[in-house]
Amino acid sequence: MVVATLKQVAAHAEVSVQTVSNALNAPHRLRPDTLARVNASIELLNYRPNRNARSLRTSAVELIGYCVPSWPNQTHLVMDQFLHALCAAAERTGRHILLFTAPPGVEGMPVYDDLHARRLVDGFVLSQTETRDPRHGWLKEKKIPFVSFGRVWKESTQPGAWVDVDGAAGSALAVRHLYETGRRRIAFLSWPKTSGLAEDRLDGWRSTCAELGLPTAGLAVRCREDTFAEGARATAHLLDSPEPPDGIVALSDILALGALRELTRRNLTPGRDLGVTGFDDSPLADVAAPGLTTLRQPMDEIATHLITTLTTQSHAAHLLHPTLVVRGSTAPG
Amino acid sequence: MVVATLKQVAAHAEVSVQTVSNALNAPHRLRPDTLARVNASIELLNYRPNRNARSLRTSAVELIGYCVPSWPNQTHLVMDQFLHALCAAAERTGRHILLFTAPPGVEGMPVYDDLHARRLVDGFVLSQTETRDPRHGWLKEKKIPFVSFGRVWKESTQPGAWVDVDGAAGSALAVRHLYETGRRRIAFLSWPKTSGLAEDRLDGWRSTCAELGLPTAGLAVRCREDTFAEGARATAHLLDSPEPPDGIVALSDILALGALRELTRRNLTPGRDLGVTGFDDSPLADVAAPGLTTLRQPMDEIATHLITTLTTQSHAAHLLHPTLVVRGSTAPG
DNA sequence: GCGAAGGGTTTTAACGTTCAAAAGGCCTGG
DNA sequence: CCAGGCCTTTTGAACGTTAAAACCCTTCGC
């Protein structure tokens, strides 16, 4: 069956084309009986507005671009959660997500420009934000709408709107939870200093420990990369120290699982002998045994804020809070 | 800067609008000097064709729909790889991927229909195919173009085109690799019988063992779910049997990692004492220690076939072969 | 020298929708 | 009975592009 057009619906309902258009976009303008008649015809002919014609006329495509990241060495285990949430949020406003690939950083900007100039998308959601991300200024200068998932760190004035999750608050939650389950020496597994994300989460651990009067000296370990082996190595290092910790807050689920593995290897029981927490609530946290206590990013909230910020063109900043998902790895000690 | 239109380029190059259009879509029709003049104007005015106008006229949007899956209990660790490959393949033909959400199974079909009827997409890539997937027949009846990632199992005549990876061939590769590294009792960690995927991979293990004269009796274990704990439990069960295996082919990387964990717990060294392989080459395989030997899905090839099959509307079937990625977990025993 | 053929370019007419403005209908009040 | 105003509906044009036909000019064959 070929799709019906406005014209055909109009002919069937014996009104003008514009009236049918109004029935869809401004029903209050129609007399109730006309509206009913038109709607009946719409229903009967199974009419669906042609999005291309609409976009051509209104010059708004209701499509949001998202560059699908390809990390050579970093794993992104929660990308499916993020995309699902982003899609759902977009659909709640009648929009959709258009995926594309582009070189990382500022080299990719011509691709963004092209997509926007050719009217494939109205704007962009950026992720994988880096310190002083050059993409922000570029897009702003070209007047291309965008919103960033992730703060542009260390900048007092942001060139654009952003949404982010408070990593420090996340660490604070983890530390307090470990404290409440009886731990008093809480270590932190981190990454190299180059990552703004890592510093944020590390700061939260440090300040919360200070507030609770807990020691931090010698309890922060930097892992070289995000692997099980590095998490295990760092944990081994901590456990072999004169004063081993009784709790570990890890910067990622992967490091945390590495920690769990090291505990198991030493015949220590995670949760009982030592509390361990991860970050991001990746699928791994659930399939691990014991389940990994971790900090869940509020994906739906993030996505909703991203979409509304982008579509209302507001220059807002949203700092959201992660929530603690408690599983076996922090069973009361 | 407001984007230029064909009209403006035409005025600038002192030709008609259609000539500019031809310069882009059928340059051979123009006299070389005209073409050069038009191209110069295009360049100068930074002209980009408006996709909406084009689509309206040609009724082809060059967008492919993909329903972003949300598995309640199954993890999909290679989705980012898949999406990246799919995007890249689409872009190679000037197309893009449009993401959307829909209820699983046949309940979601009205969403597909709507997207197609409103001309947001030309067709769909389906994934998460199930046994006798009802979506295929539904789409075929509505004449909505689609291609499926995953066979509709056990059907002799498929209602549509598909691309899939030969799981049996994958298992065969794993078994032979373990055989060549000296293992002679090779077990298989599987899932419940309900999964066509699992049966395919299991069959490959069984037949290859038969070919090599290896035993299979008592060496296939079904895991209840895809978790580390189940993988570990099954492995423990195997190791405790009177004749323990010296190799394990697991249906998934997660089960394989569960197996590795159980080995470590028993102070066995994966790779030296027992060879273990996984499936799918998820990021975990690389971050595990030792690295997990696993079967990589040829994502780029899959994506390329999906896109070309969909866009050429051919009724083709492509069965692709996984490749073995050897890491430490099968170091020669 | 004239019709045919053909390459190159322009003209005309859509594609399906919405915007702006005009037209029509109906009621109210004088 | 008509002017004025409000509410509903129609008309005309436009969004930017491409397909098809028409047109012009040159070249070719006889």
Q: What is the mean pLDDT of chain B?
A: 92
Average the pLDDT over A2-18 and give the result. Answer: 91
Closest CA to B313 of B60, B104, B114: B60
Distance B260 CA to C30 C1' (A): 97
Strand D reaches within 7 A of the A154 CB: no
Residue B14 domain flag: yes
Which chain B residue's Cα is nearest to A99? Answer: B97
Q: Which residues, at least 6 apart from B23, have a Cβ–Cβ distance to it below 8 Å?
A: B30, B34, B35, B38, B39, B42
Residue A129 domain flag: yes
Q: In CATH, what number is assigned to the domain containing residue B13? A: 1.10.260
CA B157 to chain centroid: 22
pLDDT digits (tens, 9 = 90+) for A131-154: 778 899 999 999 999 999 988 766
Kindly state whether residues A174 and A155 are assigned to the same domain. Answer: no
> Helix (H, G, I), strand (E, B), or coil: what is residue B123?
strand
Strand D reaches within 7 A of the B62 CB: no
Kindly state whether residues B292 and B304 are assigned to the same domain. Answer: no
Kindly state whether residues B110 and B129 are assigned to the same domain. Answer: yes
Closest CA to A293 of A266, A253, A265: A253
pLDDT digits (tens, 9 = 90+) for B88-116: 999 999 999 999 999 988 999 999 999 99
Residue A220 domain flag: yes
Residue B129 domain flag: yes
What range defines the domain where residue A40 resides? 6-49
Is residue A318's pLDDT more than 60?
yes
| Cβ contact B120:B139 at 8 Å | no
Structure tokens given for B168: 């049996």
Kindly state whether residues A112 and A182 are assigned to the same domain. Answer: no
Q: CB A53 to CB B48 under 8 A?
A: no
Distance B118 CA to C16 C1' (A): 11
Distance from CA of A232 to the nearest CA of B (A): 9
Q: If pLDDT is split at 50, 70 and 90, which confidence band does B172 have?
A: very high
Residue A76 domain flag: yes
One-letter amino acid at A320 equals: L
Residue B1 domain flag: no
Alpha carbons A88 and B100: distance in angstroms, whole number: 7
Which chain B residue's Cα is nearest to A49? Answer: B118
Residue A97 domain flag: yes
Instruction: Supply the pLDDT for residue B100.
Output: 98
Q: Find where tokens 């495509």 sit.
A: A61
Instruction: Supply the pLDDT for residue B45.
Output: 95
Bond into B69 cis (ω within 30): no
Alpha carbons A275 and A241: distance in angstroms, whole number: 17
Q: Which residues, at least 6 apart from A76, have a Cβ–Cβ distance to it below 8 Å?
A: A69, B80
Residue A171 domain flag: yes
The answer, for B265 touching chain A at a CB cutoff of 8 Å, is: yes
> Helix (H, G, I), strand (E, B), or coil: what is residue B165?
strand
Kindly state whether residues A177 and A233 are assigned to the same domain. Answer: yes
Distance A210 CA to C6 C1' (A): 88
Number of domains in chain B: 3
DSSP E strand boundaries for chain B: 63-67, 96-100, 123-126, 146-149, 161-165, 186-190, 220-222, 247-250, 275-279, 293-296, 317-320, 323-325
Is residue A296's pLDDT more than 90?
yes
Is residue A273's pLDDT more than 80?
yes
B333 vs B176, B255, B268, B330, CA distance in Å?
Answer: 14, 21, 12, 7
Which residue minimizes Cα–C1' distance to C7? B29
Alpha carbons B294 and B325: distance in angstroms, whole number: 5
Kindly state whether residues B186 and B84 are assigned to the same domain. Answer: no
Q: Which residue has the higher pLDDT, B306 or A287?
A: B306
Q: If pLDDT is split at 50, 70 and 90, which confidence band does B128 have?
A: confident
Q: In CATH, what number is assigned to the domain containing residue A286? A: 3.40.50.2300
